[in-house]
Amino acid sequence: MATYEQLAREEGDPVPVLGVRADDEALALALRDGRPPRPTQSGEGRDCVLAREDDYLPFAAALARWTGRELVISDHDFEALATLRARSAVLVATPDAFPFTRLAQIASVSGRMRGACATGILTARSGEALSRRIARIAWSAPGPARRNVHAKTLVHGAPMDARAHFEGPIETLVAVTHGSSIDMDLRLGVLCGRSTSAGAAEGYPCVMEKGCKRSPKGDRLLIPIQQLDARVVFAESCNGIALTGGLYADEASLALSAMDGTLMAYIATFKLVRSSQGLLACLGSALLEAGHDFGTVTSIVNRAQQAFIKDVPSFILLGDPCERLSRPQGAARLRAEGQGTGLPLSLDIDCGGFHGRALEIVLPLSREQVSRLDSTTFRVELTPMPRQDEAGFAVLLPSGDDAASLWLCVDEARRFDRVRVVCTAALPPESARLAVTTAWSAIDTLSALSAGVAAAASQLPGAEGCVRDLSAIVKQARELTTFAEQDLQSSHPHVTSFSKLELPLETLLGAYSALSARLVSRFPDWKLSAHLAWAYNHQISTSGDERPCGPCTVCGTPGYEITYSSPRSEHLRRTLIHCSRCGILSDRPSSERAMELRAPTVITAGETAHFEWRLRNDRPFPVEVSAVALFPHAPAQLGCRFSPETCTVTVPQGGEVIVPGVIEAANNALPGHYSLMVLGSGLMALNIAARPLRVEPRPPPALP
């Protein structure tokens, strides 16, 4: 660190430096050339110091002068920030200039998908603290490398001495945890906004009347952030920044105390945030370690927060957006050129053995093309392959109208030899959610059916096998759908995880098709009737009024419709159609169209008759449907069979398929009235169509 006298000689002015109390009169000399004029809104590559006319204006002027930046004097509410076109802007003002509304504006400017301005805040409780901060920015040099601490891993492994773990030089402390504006849970300890550990534990009630709410027994180490010997704290936690007007006293503010300490940067959120499954912390810490400046890191994390978890950008940088931990080692940015543009896109990129935690690859994808990508179509493969326990993400963010940045970030530095990127246009992510919703409804229906069959087991010859088969199918389907639902909640069209198995929609639909086929193949052995209402009525109740639905498609008599539903599941709704002559004609999920069955009402022994059923699919993706035709409750000696008896067809999205079949009645077919039934199952949903069929005896031969 340069001495006070050396700096004074070089600059020709008294200057505030570390350990020297700021002198307002001396600092005012920095403005000896008069107040700078407001610059025109041009020069997007410039770096600015944005200030207002308050007690900290001289500090802003000194920072602008010593770092060669342009000073912009804004109005009281920093309205100039909204229209400022610059690469970066650091806002210098007293803490009262940054209420939560201003923090929201700053995060929004930082996280803009187009024309983002890397933004940071420099403030402090006193001018002396701010002068030390500005002096470090102007004249400090990067020191030797330090260790990085990831607080989320401290809950695992053997117990350790918390004090020894947090003492000593730390490069970056990354926390993915619970927090507030006055403290942060670090598992082994509590990062506290109080100035001393004694003050944190005694005499300063924050939330509780005595002691710390995160250590009510007093058995956890309280770590004042001012005493933390770290360069950067990156916190993916809630409400980490409150500079004025917070719920708790400003004396306990974690953010203000961070500004009074020796941190270069404190990056946290000003509001409640939803979990990103570790993405934002991994991305932020990787970019910091790769040597990107703090403003760029905050801007990219805010953009990823919007794109990935659909949160309003909320990360705020307390520090200088132009500072960085170190210079990037080697090339950290590659451009995929000359390999085709648009969708579908398949790129094999040579990374030249780059070693690090963060790598940016610029892809030839427009903003509109990126918006059309789906989680099932964006895949990134690394060479060498990541280990099973190696956490990392690939994040795709628009970086312009005709380009997108693919950020590869990992928890630990590794070698990147080759990267294969596959982007194809396919189904929207809502399709997977619709498939999962349909599956949950089917699972509830099968569970209710199983319970109803079990209740009537004494009257059903195949009840035991039915309950056993249904229980196994429901168990497997529940596990699959729970995994798919969790994957949907933690996945995003523009994010691929290297350490977590993802479930593409095609794989999910294939698994559901296999379960549907298994369900259909077992159904004839259960000896159930041509409808299921008698069984699931134990669990699902009728809702609403019975309503006319037009003439019966078989006999023309009036038809009626009634709906069954369950308050336990809003998606579980089934609809029955019946007529007074033919009985139950349809039993289906209410969200699906009735399966149309066309067949004769009479067949003579020794003859054949044609029938067909029509399958429709209103979903935005193709569905594979397995179907079986049978005579429920028919005696074994009936003497009629179907060709084909079972089949599997794929019904295109928004389309229909007509499946033809033949009924063959043997010469000795047993005459009588029967019910012809077709069961179709796609996504495990049960869709039944039925109609009466009379088998007549073969007429005697004509007399000669």
Q: Is the pLDDT of residue 470 over 60?
A: yes
Percent of the chain with pLDDT over 70: 79
- State the Cα–Cα distance between residues 230 and 171, nearest whole angstrom: 6
- State the Cα–Cα distance between residues 377 and 343, nearest whole angstrom: 10
Q: Which helix (H) or strand (E) holds 143?
A: none
Q: Which of 82-91, 399-408, 586-595, 638-647 has the lowest mean pLDDT?
A: 399-408
Contact of 68 with 93, CB cutoff 8 Å = no
Q: Which residue has the higher pLDDT, 167 or 204?
A: 167
Q: Which of 130-134, 293-297, 490-494 has the lowest mean pLDDT?
A: 490-494
The answer to whether the pTM exceeds 0.85 is no
- State the Cα–Cα distance between residues 79 and 72, nearest whole angstrom: 11
- State the Cα–Cα distance between residues 285 and 282, nearest whole angstrom: 5
Using CA atoms, how far residue 318 sits from 102, 210, 232, 367, in Å, is 14, 30, 10, 30
pLDDT of residue 428: 60
Token pair 């299921």 is found at 532
Token pair 């990037």 is found at 328
Domain covering 436-696 in this structure, CATH number = 2.60.40.10
Nearest CA among 501, 493, 503, 336 for reference residue 425: 493
Q: Which residue has the higher pLDDT, 30 or 104?
A: 104
**CATH class label, 4-139:** alpha beta
- State the Cα–Cα distance between residues 404 and 301, nearest whole angstrom: 15
Name every residue whose Cβ is closer than 8 Å to that of residue 157 and which is 6 or more positions away in sequence.
none
Q: Which of 159-173, 445-459, 605-619, 647-661 has the lowest mean pLDDT?
A: 159-173
The conformation of residue 216, written as its DSSP 8-state character, comes to T
The conformation of residue 618, written as its DSSP 8-state character, comes to -
Which amino acid is it at 73?
A: I
- Is 203 exposed, middle or buried, given 0-12, 13-18 or 19+ CB atoms closer than 10 A? exposed
- State the Cα–Cα distance between residues 375 and 379, nearest whole angstrom: 8
pLDDT of residue 489: 61
- Distance in Å from the first CA to the final CA of the chain: 126
Q: Which residue has the higher pLDDT, 92 or 201?
A: 92
Q: Which segments of the chain belong to CATH 2.60.40.10? A: 436-696
Phi-psi region of 583 (alpha: psi -120 to 50; beta: other; left: phi over 0): left
Q: Which helix (H) or strand (E) holds 14?
A: none
Both tokens assigned to 363: 């892809």
Nearest CA among 535, 559, 564 for reference residue 549: 559
Q: Which residue has the higher pLDDT, 572 or 6?
A: 572
Q: Is the pLDDT of residue 666 over 90?
A: yes
Q: Which helix (H) or strand (E) holds 535?
A: helix 533-536
Nearest CA among 513, 502, 490 for reference residue 435: 513
Nearest CA among 120, 50, 63 for reference residue 268: 120
Q: Which residue has the higher pLDDT, 310 or 623?
A: 623
Collapsing DSSP to helix, strand or coil, 641 comes out as strand
Which amino acid is it at 152?
A: K
- State the Cα–Cα distance between residues 510 and 514, nearest whole angstrom: 6
- State the Cα–Cα distance between residues 177 and 129, nearest whole angstrom: 28
Using CA atoms, how far residue 247 sits from 140, 207, 243, 259, 323, in Å, is 35, 10, 11, 19, 31
pLDDT of residue 617: 92
Q: Is the pLDDT of residue 688 over 90?
A: yes
**Phi, psi torsion values for 522, nearest 5 degrees:** -90, -20
Q: Is the pLDDT of residue 426 over 60?
A: no
Q: Report the DSSP beta bridge partners of residue 223.
A: 191
Q: Report the DSSP beta bridge partners of residue 640.
A: 665
Q: pLDDT (tens digit, 9 = 90+) per residue, 492-536?
A: 666 666 655 556 667 778 889 999 999 999 998 888 887 788 777
- State the Cα–Cα distance between residues 221 and 189, nearest whole angstrom: 5
Q: Which residue has the higher pLDDT, 613 or 489?
A: 613
Average pLDDT over residues 469-497: 79
- State the Cα–Cα distance between residues 582 and 64, nearest whole angstrom: 88
Average pLDDT over residues 317-335: 78
pLDDT of residue 670: 93
Burial 629-638 (b: 16+ CB within 10 A, else e): bbbbebeeeb
Average pLDDT over residues 38-53: 67
Q: Which residue has the higher pLDDT, 584 or 485?
A: 584
- Is 57 exposed, middle or buried, given 0-12, 13-18 or 19+ CB atoms closer than 10 A? buried
Collapsing DSSP to helix, strand or coil, 547 comes out as strand
Q: pLDDT (tens digit, 9 = 90+) per residue, 543-567?
A: 777 899 888 888 889 999 998 887 7
Q: Which segments of the chain belong to CATH 3.40.50? A: 4-139
Both tokens assigned to 195: 């100035």
Would strands 685-696 and 640-643 be described as parallel, antiparallel, or unpaired?
Answer: unpaired
Contact of 391 with 356, CB cutoff 8 Å = no
Q: Which residue has the higher pLDDT, 85 or 505?
A: 85
Greatest alpha-carbon span in the chain: 136
Q: Report the DSSP beta bridge partners of residue 324.
A: none
- State the Cα–Cα distance between residues 604 and 474, nearest whole angstrom: 41
Nearest CA among 345, 382, 383 for reference residue 363: 345
pLDDT-derived band of residue 190, with 50, 70 and 90 as boundaries?
A: confident
**Phi, psi torsion values for 23, nearest 5 degrees:** -120, 115
Would strands 345-363 and 333-335 be described as parallel, antiparallel, or unpaired?
Answer: parallel
Q: Is the pLDDT of residue 340 over 70?
A: no
Q: What is the DSSP string of 288-314?
A: HHTT--HHHHHHHHHHHHHHHH-PPP-
pLDDT of residue 571: 73
Q: Long-range contacts made by residues 105-110, C-beta under 8 angstroms, separation at least 24?
A: 105/78, 105/81, 106/81, 106/316, 107/270, 107/302, 107/312, 107/313, 107/314, 107/315, 107/316, 108/312, 108/313, 109/81, 109/82, 109/84, 110/295, 110/298, 110/299, 110/302, 110/313, 110/315, 110/316, 110/317
Collapsing DSSP to helix, strand or coil, 611 comes out as strand
Evaluated on CA atoms 269, 270, 276, 277, the torsion sign reads: positive
pLDDT-derived band of residue 15, with 50, 70 and 90 as boundaries?
A: very low
Name every residue whose Cβ is closer than 8 Å to that of residue 531 and which is 6 or more positions away in sequence.
576, 584, 587, 688, 690
pLDDT-derived band of residue 211, with 50, 70 and 90 as boundaries?
A: low
Cα-only R_g, the chain: 35
**How many residues in the chain?**
704
Both tokens assigned to 576: 């029955």
Q: Please tell me which of 426-440, 449-463, 519-533, 664-678 the model is most confident about, judged by mean pLDDT.
A: 664-678
Average pLDDT over residues 189-212: 63
Nearest CA among 573, 676, 574, 664 for reference residue 628: 676
Q: pLDDT (tens digit, 9 = 90+) per residue, 234-284?
A: 999 888 899 988 888 788 889 999 998 889 999 999 998 887 777 788 888
What average pLDDT does the chain have?
Answer: 79
